Structure 1
């Protein structure tokens, strides 16, 4: 097989896409009552485009929310054969657009005291609790592994590609065999990160990295109206680190799904092999952000800066130096007598002002 054939076979190979949709209705209400249904509508368009890329593409669509709940909206049945879990069957299931949107909204609003407040009511306090991201990632990885779709031989990483010669401008060729690949897209609401889920989320991210599964993130953020250029108060350090560890793309959006569609089509929809052949848009600021012109309103942007500092498990604040539990590896910004995570006693230290252990990556 020639280098050109190897490149073509890798680009044209089928993929499995794990899509995790955050259905935390209280968090979505920060953007308005119709934000979640509109996001589902836009997501269905993106999923149809993915199915049209290759007849062998497979899709797992899982919704998660607060209160430790998750549900599969579109998943091949365990009795389905390999030929019955492709793009054709997925497109047929996506035809019931109204039914899928209704199912998502019902799942997001059922049996949750935090979602009883009407979105958009300025006089009512909307309680926004963290979503169960760790549960969704774990269930998705388990579903892929149970079907034999999550192995090192079934994945591909863009870093396996290199110039055919020493010249950096030479065509890229694959340095490994072209095999079916697995990747993940997380569509996240502005729900805050839960420090208690940090270990579970990082374990899932490391497992995905080990399987060479790319994790892309589309994160909605809420920015202060009086300072639109300020850093988002609802950015997710957990998801940024997941995308960084797996060589994925982290996109922040403060508008509608349509605002993010151009970034999704250009940087997320292409297969992992195709991305190695594409030149990403240049950034216009040292921080790596591409702020949108004010006259165009809210837009989506790819975030290249990643905050790799540890998170205090008690306060959720970022720390550069902290105290680490020797049993569960929980990190705390200040010394404690007992670990808040596993209740293990810390060593009795009289010199609490001593320099804490470094948590730098």
Structure 2
């Protein structure tokens, strides 16, 4: 009986349409770097071919594209003026191109061109060259929530793919973690393709927590091959494939006080805020702690195990910070 129910569920899942939300990092400071192995104009050719392949997989597959720019996050497709696949389009006909592909390609290329034509941000405004990944994830989750509400039968299976080249921005730690937990609660996997550069710590955690895929291509010039073989299969097909995974996941966090990624931090036992150094008062929830904790340096100086410090008050029943 269980096998029959499982087969019916898999059959229904197979017939569901797939909603893919793609977040493209358009940070010009990273794409135009002299050591970049792949320029943005060449990478867009790979990405557009991948988008077209997703739409060609099923007649009811859906797509949304969001640009994560420096200081801005913008929908590239669909926009208020762009129709969705399957609807009537009002663009110039081209007998050599499938019309749905042309609508998507034109919207993405036009939107990115407008972003790059805007005044270039200064060094003080660009926040160390980081793009607004957290804002883009929020937009993607809002769009998915709207699509799921409009689908009363529950036949839309959403997922998010992040294509990034920018380093982590410690100031985005809290917004990104909020997006991760929201996606996990809604069963929305977040896939991440780090095209080049150092590993993105926060996005590694996003892929691990939401059961998505995190991957760095060996050669960024073969981006299309990586996208087609690793990120094109939907959630139903992935159950039959052996896809790449993460051997190690970096679970470091960013402190709430200086927005730095820390190896060891002090956690407030009330609001779970993380700090790089001990403070008698939590700056987030204003909780006052009753005693000074025993720091690692004090242990090395020969503090006796189990002995209390007569110069400090006894721990009370109030909330105390813990180190992690």
Q: TM-score, normalised by structure 2?
A: 0.74
| Residue equivalent to 1:265 | 228
Q: Is the 8 A contact 2:25 2:69 kept in 1?
A: yes
Taking a change above 3 Å as real, the CA distance of residues 208 and 315 of structure 1, as seen in their structure-2 partners, is closer
- Cα distance in 1 for partners of 2:127, 2:218 equals 20
SS in 2 for 1:70: strand
Determine which of 164, 187, 205 is the counterpart of 1:241: 205
- Cα distance in 1 for partners of 2:62, 2:115 equals 23
Determine which of 74, 78, 81 is the counterpart of 2:77: 74
| Residue equivalent to 2:276 | 333
Q: Is the 8 A contact 1:183 1:215 kept in 2?
A: yes
Give per-residue Cα distances to partners, 1:319-358, cap 9 Å, x unaligned: 2x42124675331222246767x49476475446279624
Q: How does 1:165-314 map to 2 (within 5 A)?
A: 179-189=155-165, 191-222=166-197, 234-253=198-217, 255-256=219-220, 258-280=221-243, 303-313=246-256, 314=258
Determine which of 97, 101, 107 is the counterpart of 1:91: 101
Q: Is the 8 A contact 1:250 1:304 kept in 2?
A: no
Taking a change above 3 Å as real, the CA distance of residues 32 and 115 of structure 1, as seen in their structure-2 partners, is farther
Taking a change above 3 Å as real, the CA distance of residues 106 and 92 of structure 1, as seen in their structure-2 partners, is closer
Compare CA radii of gyration and give the structure with the larger one. Answer: 2
SS in 2 for 1:63: strand
How many residue pairs match? The answer is 287
Taking a change above 3 Å as real, the CA distance of residues 113 and 183 of structure 1, as seen in their structure-2 partners, is same
| Residue equivalent to 2:24 | 21
- State yes or no: 1:63 paired with 2:26: no
Give per-residue Cα distances to partners, 1:297-338, cap 9 Å, x unaligned: xxxxx643211233334252332x421246753312222467
- State yes or no: 1:47 paired with 2:51: yes
- Cα distance in 1 for partners of 2:184, 2:78 equals 23
| Residue equivalent to 1:353 | 295
How many angstroms does 1:76 deviate by? 5.7
- Cα distance in 2 for partners of 1:13, 1:101 equals 29
| Residue equivalent to 2:304 | none
| Residue equivalent to 1:37 | 41
Which segments of 5 or more consecutive residues in structure 1 lack a partner in the other structure? 117-125, 155-178, 223-233, 282-301
Give per-residue Cα distances to partners, 1:235-294, cap 9 Å, x unaligned: 1111001111111100113643x423323212210010100011236xxxxxxxxxxxxx
How many angstroms does 1:78 deviate by? 9.2
RMSD between aligned alpha carbons? Answer: 3.7
Q: How does 1:99-178 map to 2 (within 5 A)?
A: 100-108=108-116, 110-114=118-122, 128-148=128-148, 154=154
Q: Is the 8 A contact 2:281 2:289 kept in 1?
A: no
- Cα distance in 2 for partners of 1:277, 1:50 equals 18
